[in-house]
């Protein structure tokens, strides 16, 4: 870490304390951002933590759908984004028209929306899910109702095959996770026979099949915390390594591919966070008519997950 970074971090910590700003970050954030955050989590934990926080100003260091979820779940609180252009191409690929078409063809259908979706798509969804609870949510939905699982076809395929439940998947995927190939992974496993392979469910089912553990970023972190192993092949975004090394600094973490870097997550910097908390910009808002419908899908997810 440079002297410039540590000075910035000190200034951010002082400024957020003076203004009572609470910083929530995703595990894919840069190391130095994870270090100044008050809470670091996967997308589910970030949403629940924002909702339960007693701070009136929350800065979300993550992509736009994460800040939107916080804004929807925390009416009356100020949600700040340090980089509103940080987005998720997969989330943006699904449109409300896609949902309306499904509902027209399947009037009794249910729309399960991964949190990686814009607020207006959540407003048309019956329930949200994240990678940490998708399996549980899907297992609790009535067996006779057709399911439209949006927008990640890999998560849809991985969860539905585990539950032997067929779903209609929207044909989109995360460009970072979906790019990993089975051949690459087989080679990594040959090169590192002692390592456990930990895979995010946004990866292709052909990759997931080879995994020793499949789960959300929080799941991967907790697996490494309790495993007796010393080597892990990581098939998710590179930022998770910093979080793992906080608990297990001695372990060897081998990236499944050097390309697993989300440019949107990495577009957030310490400089942008300092600007955001000094100027209280950019405030994330969701129109009330969208928010009051989208909150139902998010709250339903939290209700089913916490029971």
Residues near ligand 13P (CB under 6 A) are 42-44, 88, 116, 130-132, 174, 200, 202, 216-217
With CB under 5 to 8 Å by kind, the binding choice for 160 among ligand SF4, ligand 13P, none is none
Query: Residue 171 CA to chain centroid, in angstroms?
Result: 19
265 binds ligand SF4 (CB under 6 A): yes
With CB under 5 to 8 Å by kind, the binding choice for 264 among ligand SF4, ligand 13P, none is ligand SF4
Strand partners, 213: 198
* Part in contact with ligand SF4 (CB under 6 A); list of ranges 120-128, 170-178, 191-199, 277-285: 170-178
Selected binder of ligand SF4 within 40, 79, 90, 207 (CB under 6 A): 90
Nearer to ligand SF4, 127 or 174 (CB): 174
Nearer to ligand SF4, 15 or 261 (CB): 261
With CB under 5 to 8 Å by kind, the binding choice for 131 among ligand 13P, ligand SF4, none is ligand 13P
Nearer to ligand 13P, 117 or 217 (CB): 217
3 state SS for the chain:
CCHHHHHHHHHHHHHHHHHCEEEEEECCCCHHHHHHCCEEECHHHHHHHHHHCCCCEEEEECCHHHHHHHHHHCCCCEEECCCCCCCCHHHHCCCHHHHHHHHHHCCCCEEEEECCCCHHHHHCCCEEECCCCHHHHHHHCCCCCCEEEECEHHHHHHHHHHHCCCCEECCECCCCCCCCCHHHHHHHHHHCCCCEEEECCCCCHHHHCCCCEECCHHHHHHHHHHCCCCEEEEECCCCHHHHHHHHCCCCEEEECCCCCCCHHHHCCCHHHHHHHHHHCCCECCCCHHHHHHHHHHHHHHHHHHHC
84 binds ligand SF4 (CB under 6 A): no
Nearer to ligand SF4, 175 or 205 (CB): 175
Nearer to ligand 13P, 131 or 160 (CB): 131
* Part in contact with ligand SF4 (CB under 6 A); list of ranges 97-105, 224-232, 245-253, 262-270: 262-270
Selected binder of ligand SF4 within 69, 264, 276, 291 (CB under 6 A): 264
174 binds ligand SF4 (CB under 6 A): yes
Nearer to ligand SF4, 141 or 261 (CB): 261
Q: Give the footprint of ligand SF4 on this chain (CB under 6 A).
A: 63, 88-90, 116, 174-176, 202, 237, 262, 264-265
């Amino acid at each position: 870490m440079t002297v410039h970074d540590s000075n910035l971090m000190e200034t951010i910590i002082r400024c957020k304390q003076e203004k009572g700003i609470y910083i929530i970050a995703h595990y894919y954030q840069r190391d130095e951002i994870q270090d100044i955050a008050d809470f670091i989590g996967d997308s589910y934990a970030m949403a629940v933590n924002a909702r339960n926080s007693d701070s009136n100003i929350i800065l979300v260091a993550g992509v736009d759908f994460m800040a939107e979820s916080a804004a929807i779940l925390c009416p009356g609180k100020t949600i700040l984004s340090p980089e509103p252009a940080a987005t998720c191409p997969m989330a943006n690929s699904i449109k409300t028209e896609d949902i309306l078409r499904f509902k027209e063809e399947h009037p009794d259908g249910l729309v399960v929306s991964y949190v990686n979706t814009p607020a207006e798509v959540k407003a048309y969804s019956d329930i949200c899910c994240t990678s940490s609870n998708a399996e549980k949510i899907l297992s609790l939905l009535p067996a006779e109702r057709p399911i439209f699982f949006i927008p990640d076809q890999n998560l849809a395929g991985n969860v539905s095959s585990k539950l032997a439940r067929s779903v209609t998947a929207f044909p989109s995927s995360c460009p970072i996770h979906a790019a990993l190939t089975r051949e690459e992974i087989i080679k990594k496993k040959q090169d590192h026979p002692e390592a456990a392979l930990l895979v995010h469910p946004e990866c292709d089912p052909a990759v997931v099949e080879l995994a020793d553990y499949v789960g959300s970023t929080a799941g991967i972190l907790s697996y490494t915390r309790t495993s007796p192993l010393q080597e892990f092949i990581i098939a998710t975004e590179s930022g998770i390594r910093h979080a793992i090394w906080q608990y297990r600094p001695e372990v060897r973490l081998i990236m499944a591919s050097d390309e697993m870097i989300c440019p949107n997550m990495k577009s957030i910097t310490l400089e942008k966070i300092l600007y955001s908390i000094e100027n209280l910009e950019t405030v994330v808002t969701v129109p009330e008519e969208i928010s009051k419908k989208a909150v139902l899908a998010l709250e339903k997810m939290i209700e089913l997950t916490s029971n």
